[in-house]
Amino acid sequence: MSHQAQFTALVDWLQGAITPNERFTLSYNAEASDFIRFNHAKVRQAGHVQQASVYFKLIDDGRHADLNLTVSSDEAVDRQRLDEALQQLRETLTLLPADPYLLLNDDAWQSSNVQDAPLPDSAHVVEQIAQLGEGLDLVGIYAAGPIYRGFASSNGALGWHQANSFNFDWSLFHENGQAVKANYAGHEWSDEAFAKRFALAREQLAFLGQPSHTLAPGQYRAYLAPAALEEVIGMLCWGGFSAQSLADKTSPLQRLYDGHATLNPLVSLDEQVTGSLSPAFSGEGYPRSDLSLVVKGVAQDRLIDSRSAAEYGLTANGAGWGESPSALSMNGGSLALDDVLKELGTGLYISNLWYLNFSDRTAGRITGMTRFATFWVEDGQIKAPVSTMRFDDSVFSLLGGALEQLTRERELILSASTYSQRQTASNLLPGALISRLTLTL
Amino acid sequence: MFDFSAQLKQRFATLQSSARFFSLRYVKQTSQHLSVRKNVPEPPQLSTDEGAMLTVRIDGVEAYSATNDLSQRGLQAALERAEAQARLLAAHSLLDLRDHAVATSRADYLSPNLTRAFPSLSDCYALLAQESASVPKDERLVNWQVSLGLENVEQIYLNSAGAEIRQAQRFVFPGLSVTAYDGQDSQTRSLGRENFGQQGGAEVITSCGIIGAAANVADQALQLIMAPNTPTGPRDLLLTPDQMILQIHESIGHPLELDRILGDERNYAGTSFVKASDFGSLQYGSKLLNVTFDPEIPEQLASYAFDDDGTPASKQFLIKDGVLERPLGGALSQFRSGMEGVANSRACSWNRAPIDRMANLNIEPGDQSMQQLIGGIEHGILMSTNRSWSIDDARNKFQFGCEWGQLIENGELKGVVKNPNYRAISAQFWRNLSAVGDASTFKVLGTPNCGKGEPNQVVRVGHASPACVFANVDVFGGDA
């Protein structure tokens, strides 16, 4: 039985099992993934994970409770589990008061997106990696396989999202400990495209062989490549655009949304669901809207889930868990990629940042480390790799007064995260030229 | 308890394999997370998750297949998939495990007080509601939340060499937080949450201290929004256990993980400033520093008798009198490196393979009371409760931030300061350890959120520590 048929069968069974007063929502998450880890260009650990679960919400007279339940591929077993879950939730509801912030979407919306282009056999991919990685110190992970997401409600809403994808996330290490990070991800594997991407990483590795340049703490001009900028933007996703965080006054963009501060007019950020790789519906059953979060440096939309909508009198717009963006798109600027070094002049070319956190959340001040392929540039020429450095700076400076230019070209960065399950989030970002980045350690 | 054990054993015994060695690790986790936010009960989040990981070893090459299908047919299919993968990738395998010993133990392990009933859902909500209602009415208090997480985990490990290890554990995570806002700045004060969790029953709620604490936590949030920023400059730093656990975790725990030292994690979690050759000789910290891997404190989050590969666990010193002795490496890493380690091969669930993880990583108590620790500081600061953590991929240059700061001058606690941060370098920081609190300052804490590994995993780790003093550390505040 296909995953979609399995999900539909559960929905049909549940429709017949509930009482006239009861309502439900049921979302579905499944994947069949190959996970192959590499170290020293060899396979360190290989495995396959087949998993499926439903997130079941039962509602009765304004009271509701949720149960996340693993399902197997056996129809009888799953019906029994769902039946037990239904009984458990019914018993739970009798213990609860009505929830004043329950807001259900009654629309019987329909959505379907199936992308089932075949993926290469993992053994073929490993062979490719082994050939290209011959003689190199390669470490990383290849994750691939189908991902399934579904949603249904007792009101007749039905969404299905299915996509085959792969994500090879890897690093090449120089013997001096310096490394370059690379990624090749998508739906259609191409040996040629992969070889090209690999060659680019190999080329960067050559620069890392030079003696590293040690910097003193201070302020430096810097170019943040898209992967580095993604880390900065990622911090803003920790409640930055969340309706609840903004109401609770814990958003790092509180000042922006309160109108007490602005970002650089170059900064425009959208939650661009249309055309992204993530489902067009949220786990709680709302179609996801395209949103303009920041327009020319000024806050506009926020991410609102149903609970925030009910509590703060807003309109839900399909925000997912934590009201975080998962298809963020930042407008590009006018800086040509080929001109980055020239425009940087003398300063830091930063490929990646790492382990960011807040120094002062309310003030939008963040800290983090350089990691992978950070170079010292003089007069537009790469001079040497730079030892790991810590920065500590305000987002209102980095994306405000200190932001000089954004690159015209943008990079689509697909999430390599596999916590609990393979993620479908993505970011479409340019690189950023910054007039001053504060290094502290 | 272990309801599925007999059936699982029967199915395991029926599995057909050409592999000389294979194993099955079954995990079932049921959980509930309850929360009352601003006096409104949030809907309970319940979960039931179960599945199994089958691992095979063929000609020294291992591969795994995890499945949500626990039927005989499902387990057999998973086993065959793992076998096929081991054969397909054999030519490219990094490791030859033909001589790697396998587990043979048979034992059960239970959390303390596991058979005692936990308070009902209604009772839990009543407790949370009562605490939430204790937050004083003050328009500056813009948000507060009281929560209680409960996780029951059963794991059964079986292998073709006859091992049968069962463990049933219950984890409890109470938490409380209050946010105050003055129109410009917001400050959050918390208790428990990400900084606390223990194995056991209802007694864990009491030992966390959240009962009756809401008013005081709210008062501290209000004190913080009225407080000045932490001043910039070097000071002696007194860390209470709820910050020490983060300090231990990031700048001792992660750098001592042997798989990082062996390079497995270089693409994601990172490497280590510690080299394999450092063990036995590196003066990691001052002579006051004694660090143990200790799976034997019953209530601590990662206490167990065997790790997830079936290796028996026992207390070991990792750092003794400041000298680095042994890494956090499980049986496989020990086999690869030829070094002695500990039983810390752990997986977050049935769908992820065990790797080297922290478990319970503790600092042994010293001989000074809290009063003596404070009294010994001329120009310093006390910091409590972690809220921010950032460290480089080699686990050396760090910057950490806390919720609560209090200046110390001439041996006395002075005014409250907000946004307390400090930064230093691991390789030097622990050598500045100048005083270690005694047993009266020692607390058994932990966190449910340690992330690592490819594919990614989050595990529970326990940390117990006394309060500690570090000399001459760069501290600073925020912008607000």
3-state secondary structure of B436: strand
What count of other Cβ atoms lies within 10 Å of the Cβ of residue A383? Answer: 14
The tokens for B205 are: 């709620």
Q: Is A297 left (phi over 0), alpha (psi -120 to 50) or beta?
A: left
B43 vs chain A: nearest CA distance in angstroms? 5
CA–CA separation, B82 and B100 (whole Å):
19
| CA A8 from centroid of its chain's CA atoms | 28
Helix (H, G, I), strand (E, B) or coil at A77: helix
Instruction: Please check whether residues B359 and B244 belong to one and the same domain.
Output: yes
What confidence score (pLDDT) does residue A239 get? Answer: 96
A417: contact with B, CB 8 A cutoff: yes
Whether B455 and A49 lie within 8 Å, measured CB to CB: yes
Q: Report yes or no: A369 at the B interface, CB cutoff 8 Å.
A: yes
Question: Among B226, B254, B271, where does a domain finish?
Answer: B226
- Show residues of chain A in contact with B86, CB under 8 Å: 46
Q: B366 to chain A, minimum CA–CA distance in Å?
A: 31
Q: Are residue B166 and residue B290 in the same domain, yes or no? A: no
Q: Examine the domain organization and report whether B206 and B171 are in the same domain.
A: yes
Q: Do B360 and B428 sit in the same domain of this protein?
A: yes
Structure tokens at B168: 């049933």
Candidate from A74, A140, A177 with C-beta closest to B69: A74
B185 chain-A contacts, CB cut-off 8 A = 362
A 148-207 → B contacts, CB under 8 A: 169-171, 173, 177, 179, 181
In terms of Cβ atoms closer than 10 Å to its own Cβ (0-12, 13-18, 19+), residue B133 is: exposed
CA distance between the termini of chain B? 52
* C-alpha dihedral, A218 to A219 to A224 to A228, nearest 10°: 40
CA B152, chain centre distance (Å): 17
Cα distance from B443 to chain A (closest Cα, Å)?
A: 26
Residues 312-331 of A with CB under 8 A from B: none
Q: Is B336 on the interface with A (CB under 8 A)?
A: no
In terms of residue numbers, what domain contains B85? Answer: 5-226
* Closest chain B residue to A42, measured at CA: B94
Q: B176 with B241, same domain?
A: no
Q: Provide the mean pLDDT of chain B.
A: 97
Does B479 contact A360 at a Cβ distance shorter than 8 Å? Answer: yes
User: DSSP letter string over B306-349?
Assistant: B-TT--B---EEEEETTEE---B--HHHHHHH-----S-EE-SS
Among B44, B92, B264, the residue with its CB nearest the CB of A126 is B92
For residue B247, pLDDT beyond 70: yes
Cβ atoms of A145 and A418 within 8 Å: the answer is no
Q: Which amino acid is at A251?
A: S
- Surface of A (80-109) touching B: CB under 8 A: 81, 85, 88-89, 92, 95-97, 99-102
Query: B147 and B271 in one domain?
Result: no
Q: Name B49's Cβ contacts closer than 8 Å, sequence gap at least 6.
A: A53, A68, A69, A70, B27, B28, B29, B30, B349, B350
Note whether B167 and B151 are same-domain residues: yes
Q: Collapsing DSSP states into helix, strand and coil, what is residue B266?
A: coil
Strands A347-350 and A218-224: parallel
Do B65 and A356 make contact, defined as CB atoms within 8 angstroms? no
Instruction: Read off the tokens for B125.
Output: 């909500």
Question: How many inter-chain contacts (A to B, CB under 8 Å) are there?
Answer: 253
Handedness of CA A206, A207, A208, A211 (dihedral sign): positive
The residue whose two tokens read 């190959």 is A34
d(CA B25, CA A244): 40
Cβ neighbours for A20, distance < 8 A, ≥ 6 positions apart:
none
Q: Are residues B274 and B295 in the same domain?
A: yes
Residues of chain B with Cβ-Cβ distance to A179 below 8 Å are: 266
Mean pLDDT, each 10-residue run in order, chain A (441 residues): 95 98 97 98 98 98 98 94 98 97 94 94 96 97 97 96 96 96 95 97 92 95 98 96 97 97 98 88 90 98 97 95 93 98 98 97 97 96 95 98 98 95 94 98 96
Asked if B256 and B405 sit in the same domain, the reply is yes
Amino acid at B164: E
Identify the three-state secondary structure at position A229.
Answer: helix
In chain B, how many domains are there?
2
Q: Is the CB of residue B269 less than 8 Å from the CB of residue B290?
A: no
The CA distance from B232 to the nearest CA of chain A, in Å, is 13
Asked if residue B116 and residue B189 are part of one domain, the reply reads yes
Compute and round to an integer the Cα radius of gyration of chain A: 24
Q: Distance of alpha carbon A158 from its chain centroid, rounded? A: 24
For residue B232, the 8-state DSSP code is P
Interface contact B92, partner A, CB < 8 A:
yes
Which residue, among B64, B336, B399, B417, would best test binding to A if mutated, counting the most A CBs under 10 Å from its CB?
B399
| Final residue before a domain boundary, out of B174, B199, B226 | B226
Q: Which residues pair with B444 in a beta bridge?
A: B464
Domain residue spans in chain A? Answer: 3-207, 218-439
What's the token pair of residue A424?
Answer: 């479908």
Judge whether B42 is closer than 8 Å to chain A, CB to CB. Answer: yes
Query: For A3-207, which CATH class?
Result: alpha beta
Query: CATH number of the domain that B192 lies in?
Result: 3.30.2290.10
Q: Assess whether the previous peptide bond of B455 is cis (omega < 30° from 0).
A: yes
Question: Smallest CA–CA separation between B273 and chain A, in Å?
Answer: 11
The pLDDT score that the predictor gives to residue A321 is: 80
Instruction: Choose one of B195, B226, B257: the last residue of a domain.
Output: B226
Q: Where residue B480 falls among pLDDT bands split at 50, 70, 90?
A: low
Residue A347 forms contact with B (CB below 8 Å): no
Q: Please name the residue of chain A whose CA is at the shortest distance from the CA of residue B142.
A: A248
Q: What is the largest CA-CA distance in chain B?
A: 73
Report in angstroms the alpha-carbon separations of B295 from A121, B164, B169, B307: 42, 20, 13, 10
Rounded Cα gap, residues B190 and B445, in angstroms: 14
